[in-house]
Every structure is written in structure tokens, then in C-alpha cells.
């Protein structure tokens, strides 16, 4: 049995967070002993129920007190757990793990889930480990263009979706309920803000799922609008998707909606691809369904896309679930990692 320790910043809604949750559960199901270290969050209970060891280490903050506490707790847990692999999923955890590697014996790996901010200092402190995973082709290109990684061992993987959890009966038509799922931080809440404007001009019932520093401000801005609701964080995303008719957003949440054959507009903070169709799949795959590098998101085009989407019958999106099952299953993602872990 191999021991794997996953290190990330937190366990609330987010692509990297649910990636680690599904990976860890999948590894335990295959006989691995898995520990997940983070600052905690909604998905802790789900991990524990699946047999994953969960420890709280505040790797989410640069506060000196948290830094020292994180280093101490990381050292203590690695020393007692004795993992074969310590796998970091963000820049701060990767830095801490690289320090531990100088003191303790294990193999370090990283997964890159997005594009980092770059300056001289940040490039200097960014650590990678012996094996690097990326969740899309454009991230691999970004790494090779911006970091000295010539000859590095880079592996492509996916954001695996639990297609049994994310399935539903037919979508209701005509569409009346729209859902958006995202962390609501300063750099990830632009779409939520635009949906407040849409709520004022449409009869759609809009639900925004996710927590973050912008949640209360967005709730305040939507005050007086009865057709938009900000739920905050939840571990019941699958149930909330089943209650909606159409999806607007990007990334992992978009793939979860695809697993449910939901009509969608694939647009968000990083760009706008508009209504998702089979002819856009090649591009969507290359940017991990984030619309990175596409047309800039703006209200006018978003409104046009949603109006056009409402005229399209559910049958136009029946290909989505089959595609997700074939190319983005949890099993495929776990296979990608196990193939590398097995060589440790």
C-alpha cells in the first residue's frame, strides 16, 4: 500500500478543492492510504466518510503566525504518517512541502490547476517537485513559456467528475431557472455581479452558489430583487444543479453540469465562449473549460447568449453526458495519477 499526502489551501467550493476530494476518494477505493492536509472546509466530512485521513494545517495564509504553524504541523504529520508521496496543489503548500523535503524523505509532486501571477519574487519561490501534473494543454504551454522547466516531467490529467453523483432526469423546458457556481472572491465574482444586472431585466429565477469575501457585498447589491438568490457555500452542488434548468459558468462546475446534460453558457472570469456546442469542444478542452483567452466577458454578450440559449431545446445538449463519461470521469483522472504514483 502506498501512502499519499495531498496538500492544498482549503476544502470549500473550487476546482482544485473538488479535484483533490475526488482524487483522494478514488485513491482510497483502490487501496491507497491517503491523508489530506488543508485549512479545512465543507468537504472534510465527505473525505472522512470515504476513509481519507484529514488534518487541519493553515496553508491558506501568508500571515507569519500561520506560516510557522503550517511548517510545524506539516513536519509533524509527514514525520508520523511517513508518506511515499507528498502532493501539493497550490503555490503556498508547494513551497512548504519543498522545505519539508529537505528535512524528510518522500517524493514531491505538484498539480497546477491554473495560471499563477508572475513576478521575479514569485517565480523564485515557486516549487514544482519531481513530477508535475497539469489539468489542461494551455497550462502546460504557460508553464513552459514562463518557467525554467525544460526537460521536466510534466503529465496531463483532467478534472474528474463523479458522473453517478452528477446525473439527473430531463431538464425542464421552457427554461425558468438559471444557476451559477463559483467561489465569490474579488477575482472570481465578475459573473455573479453581471447576473445581478440580468435579474433586474429578466424573468429568470437565478441562483448563485458559492462563498467568499464578496458574498455579502453581492447580496447587498441584489437587495430588492426577488429572483436572484446567493446561497453561500454548500456541499450539495449536485442537488442544486438538479433544481435548475440552465447553467452559466466555467471550469469544474461546468463539467458537472455537462454530466447532467444541462444547456449552458460557458463564460466566466477568464473569458467568454458563449453557448457550449460540440464544435467548441476542442477549444474548451484545451483551456479546461475555463474560456481562458477567449472574448472578454461583458454584460451585453452574456445577455444575448442567455436569450439565445433559452430558445434551444434540451435535445441540443444530450451529447454532453456521454462526452463527460467518456473523457472526464473520476476513474480516468485516478488512472492518470496512479500511473505515476506506481513508479515511486
C-alpha atoms less than 13 angstroms from C-alpha of 242 in its C-beta half-sphere: 9
Residue 4 grid coordinates: 499519499
Q: How many of the other CB atoms lie within 10 Å of CB of 146?
A: 13
> At a CB cut-off of 8 Å and minimum separation 6, what does 297 contact?
190, 191, 194, 267, 268, 269, 271, 272, 291
Residue 145 grid coordinates: 513559456
For residue 318, is pLDDT > 90?
yes
Confidence of residue 344 (pLDDT cuts 50, 70, 90): confident
pLDDT in tens, 175-200: 999 999 999 999 999 999 999 999 99
Residue 1: helix, strand or coil by DSSP?
coil
How many residues appear in the chain? 344
Using CA atoms, how far residue 55 sits from 37, 40, 64, 84, 258, in Å, is 5, 8, 20, 17, 32
The whole-model pTM stands at 0.89
Residue 1's pLDDT is: 67
Section 308-321 average pLDDT: 97
Distance CA 192, CA 222 (A): 10
What's the angle, vertex CA 46, arms to CA 30 and CA 330, rounded to 5? 45
Residue 150's pLDDT is: 80
> At a CB cut-off of 8 Å and minimum separation 6, what does 305 contact?
265, 267, 272, 274, 275
pLDDT in tens, 51-61: 999 999 999 98
For residue 93, is pLDDT > 70?
yes
Distance CA 306, CA 313 (A): 13
Distance CA 153, CA 149 (A): 9
Section 77-98 average pLDDT: 96
Residue 171: helix, strand or coil by DSSP?
coil
Q: Could you tell me if 85 and 4 are in contact, meaning their C-beta atoms sit under 8 angstroms apart?
A: yes
Confidence of residue 115 (pLDDT cuts 50, 70, 90): confident
Distance CA 39, CA 48 (A): 15
Using CA atoms, how far residue 58 sits from 64, 65, 92, 293, in Å, is 11, 10, 10, 33
Structure-model confidence comparison of residues 29 and 149, the more confident one: 29
Structure-model confidence comparison of residues 13 and 256, the more confident one: 256
Mean pLDDT of the chain: 94
Q: How many of the other CB atoms lie within 10 Å of CB of 164?
A: 11
Section 291-296 average pLDDT: 94
Q: How many of the other CB atoms lie within 10 Å of CB of 219?
A: 16
Section 60-81 average pLDDT: 96
Q: Could you tell me if 217 and 20 are in contact, meaning their C-beta atoms sit under 8 angstroms apart?
A: no
Amino acid at each position: 500500500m502506498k501512502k499519499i499526502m495531498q496538500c492544498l489551501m482549503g476544502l470549500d467550493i473550487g476546482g482544485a478543492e473538488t479535484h483533490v476530494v475526488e482524487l483522494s476518494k478514488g485513491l482510497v477505493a483502490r487501496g491507497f492510504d491517503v491523508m489530506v492536509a488543508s485549512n479545512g472546509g465543507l468537504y472534510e466530512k465527505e473525505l472522512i466518510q470515504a476513509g481519507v485521513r484529514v488534518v487541519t494545517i493553515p496553508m491558506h495564509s501568508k500571515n507569519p503566525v500561520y506560516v510557522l504553524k503550517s511548517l510545524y504541523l506539516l513536519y509533524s504529520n509527514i514525520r508520523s504518517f511517513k508518506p511515499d508521496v507528498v502532493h501539493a496543489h497550490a503555490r503556498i503548500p508547494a513551497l512548504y512541502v519543498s522545505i519539508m523535503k529537505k528535512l524528510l524523505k518522500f517524493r514531491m509532486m505538484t498539480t497546477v490547476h491554473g495560471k499563477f501571477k508572475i513576478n521575479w519574487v514569485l517565480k523564485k519561490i515557486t516549487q514544482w517537485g519531481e513530477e508535475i501534473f497539469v489539468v489542461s494543454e494551455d497550462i502546460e504551454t504557460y508553464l513552459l513559456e514562463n518557467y525554467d522547466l525544460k526537460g521536466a516531467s510534466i503529465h496531463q490529467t483532467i478534472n474528474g467528475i463523479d458522473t453517478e453523483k452528477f446525473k439527473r432526469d430531463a431538464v425542464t423546458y421552457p427554461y425558468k431557472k438559471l444557476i451559477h457556481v463559483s467561489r465569490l472572491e474579488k477575482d472570481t465574482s465578475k459573473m455573479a455581479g453581471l447576473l445581478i444586472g440580468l435579474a433586474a431585466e429578466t424573468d429568470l429565477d437565478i441562483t448563485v452558489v458559492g462563498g467568499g469575501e464578496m458574498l455579502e457585498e453581492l447580496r447587498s447589491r441584489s437587495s430588492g430583487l426577488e429572483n436572484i438568490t446567493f446561497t453561500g457555500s454548500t456541499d450539495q452542488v449536485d442537488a442544486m444543479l438538479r433544481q435548475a434548468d440552465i447553467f452559466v459558468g466555467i471550469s469544474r462546475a461546468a463539467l458537472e453540469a455537462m454530466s447532467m446534460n444541462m444547456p449552458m453558457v460557458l463564460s466566466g472570469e477568464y473569458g467568454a465562449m458563449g453557448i457550449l456546442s460540440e464544435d467548441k469542444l476542442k477549444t474548451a478542452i484545451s483551456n479546461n473549460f475555463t474560456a481562458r483567452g477567449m472574448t472578454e466577458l461583458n454584460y451585453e454578450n452574456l445577455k444575448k447568449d442567455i436569450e439565445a440559449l433559452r430558445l434551444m431545446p434540451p435535445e441540443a445538449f444530450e451529447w454532453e453526458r456521454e462526452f463527460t463519461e467518456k473523457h472526464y470521469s473520476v476513474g480516468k483522472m485516478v488512472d492518470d495519477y496512479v500511473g505515476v504514483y506506481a513508479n515511486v
